[in-house]
C-alpha cells in the first residue's frame, strides 16, 4: 500500500504508542466502537453490516443449489469472495480481485471453515449430486483499517442471520417449498488482528496505524477459545514471544467480544 501518511504523523503515532497511547485515544488493547446490523439486504438469504469505527463492511449471503466437490460428496459448499469496491478508498481500483482482496476473502474463509462454523453435512440435498452452495460476499464500503476483523465479524453475523429455503424432492427434481429454515451453524469464530509498532502490539489498527505498522497477525478464535486460523501479514516479523503474546491477547479479546455480542 502506498504511503498515505507523512513521516511526522508516523513519528507521532510511534511516540504515543511508546507511552501506551494511541492517536484516537484508545489503549493499545482496545477495539474501536463496533456496531452490527443484521438482515438489511432483504433480497439476500442473510446479511449483516459491521461498523468498526469508520470501517464499514457489508456481507450478503446467497444460497443456491449446485454440485458438491468430488472429494467431499457429503458436504455443502462454502464460497467466500471479497470485493474492495473503489468507493471505499482512493487506494482501491475497479477490476478483478487483487492480492489484498483475495487474502481478505481467504482469511475470512479459513476462520469459518476451520472452526466448522457451518454444519456442511446438513446442506446436502442428494449426496454426491446436489447440495446447497453458500456464497458469502464481503463488500467493503469504507476502508478505515482492520478490514479482516470487520469482514470476519460481518460474515459470521450474516451467516447467523441466514435462512435456507425449504425444499422437497419430487421425481428426482428439487422443488423449493414455502418457508425457510435457519442455516445450521455450529460455531461462531471471532477474528482478532494485532499490529506491531516499534515492538509493541496494538489491537484493531486503524488506517493510519496500518501505515505505521510493519506487520500484523490475525487469529480466529472459536467458541471454546481455541485457535482455528492464523495469518501473519506485512513485511516485518514477530519474535516467537510476541506471537504467543498476540495469541493470548486475541483469545482474551475474542472472549470479551463474544460475551458482549451474546454469541
Q: Which residues of the chain form contacts with other proteins (CB under 8 A)?
A: 40-44, 47, 54, 56, 58, 60-62, 64, 71, 81, 83, 85-90, 94, 96-97, 99, 102-103, 105-106, 110, 114-115, 135, 137, 139, 141-144, 176, 215, 217, 219, 222, 225-240, 243-244, 247-248, 251
What radius of gyration do the chain's Cα atoms show? 20
CB of 171 to other proteins, least distance (A): 18
- Give me the helix-helix angle, 147-160 and 99-114, nearest 10°: 50
Residue reference for cell 423449493: 176
Q: For other proteins, which is the closer residue by CB, 20 or 199?
A: 199
Residue 214 and residue 235: Cα distance in Å, rounded?
A: 6
Nearest approach in angstroms of CB 57 to other proteins is 12
Give the angle subtended at the CA of 254 by the CAs of 250 and 259, to the nearest 5°: 155
* C-alpha distances in Å from residue 237, one per residue of 11, 58, 196, 219, 234: 20, 31, 9, 16, 8
Give the nearer residue to other proteins in terms of CB position, either 137 or 209. Answer: 137
Could you tell me the smallest distance in angstroms from the CB atom of residue 165 to other proteins? 9
Name which of 20 and 90 has its Cβ closer to other proteins: 90
Q: Which is nearer to other proteins, 20 or 86 (CB)?
A: 86
> Between 16 and 247, whose beta carbon lies closer to other proteins?
247
- Cβ distance to other proteins smaller for residue 22 or 113: 113
CB 210 within 8 A of CB 146: yes
**H or E element at residue 146:** none
| The three cell numbers locating residue 237 | 516479523
CB of 103 to other proteins, least distance (A): 5
Rounded least distance, CB 110 to other proteins, Å: 6
Angle at 131 between CA 228 and CA 47, to 5 degrees: 60
**From the CB of 28, what's the least distance to other proteins, in Å?**
20
Amino acid at each position: 500500500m502506498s504511503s498515505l501518511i507523512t513521516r511526522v504523523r508516523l513519528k507521532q503515532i510511534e511516540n504515543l504508542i511508546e507511552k501506551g497511547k494511541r492517536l484516537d485515544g484508545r489503549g493499545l488493547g482496545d477495539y474501536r466502537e463496533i456496531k452490527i446490523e443484521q438482515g438489511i439486504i432483504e433480497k439476500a438469504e442473510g446479511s449483516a453490516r459491521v461498523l468498526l469505527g469508520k470501517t464499514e463492511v457489508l456481507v450478503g449471503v446467497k444460497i443456491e443449489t449446485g454440485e458438491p466437490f468430488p472429494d467431499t460428496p457429503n458436504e455443502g459448499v462454502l464460497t467466500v469472495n471479497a470485493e474492495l469496491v473503489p468507493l471505499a478508498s482512493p487506494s482501491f481500483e475497479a477490476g478483478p480481485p487483487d492480492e489484498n482482496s483475495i487474502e481478505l476473502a481467504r482469511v475470512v474463509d479459513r476462520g469459518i471453515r476451520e472452526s466448522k462454523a457451518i454444519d456442511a453435512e446438513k446442506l446436502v440435498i442428494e449426496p454426491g449430486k446436489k447440495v446447497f452452495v453458500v456464497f458469502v460476499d464481503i463488500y467493503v464500503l469504507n476502508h478505515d483499517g482492520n478490514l479482516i476483523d470487520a469482514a470476519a465479524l460481518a460474515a459470521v453475523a450474516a451467516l447467523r442471520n441466514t435462512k435456507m429455503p425449504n425444499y422437497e424432492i419430487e421425481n428426482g427434481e428439487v422443488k423449493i417449498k414455502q418457508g425457510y429454515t435457519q442455516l445450521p451453524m455450529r460455531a461462531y469464530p471471532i477474528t482478532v488482528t494485532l499490529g506491531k509498532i516499534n515492538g509493541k502490539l496494538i489491537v484493531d489498527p486503524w488506517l493510519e496505524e496500518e501505515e505505521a505498522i510493519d506487520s500484523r497477525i490475525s487469529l480466529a478464535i472459536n467458541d471454546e477459545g481455541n485457535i482455528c486460523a492464523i495469518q501473519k501479514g506485512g513485511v516485518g516479523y514477530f519474535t516467537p514471544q510476541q506471537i504467543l503474546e498476540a495469541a493470548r491477547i486475541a483469545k482474551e479479546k475474542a472472549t470479551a467480544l463474544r460475551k458482549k455480542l451474546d454469541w
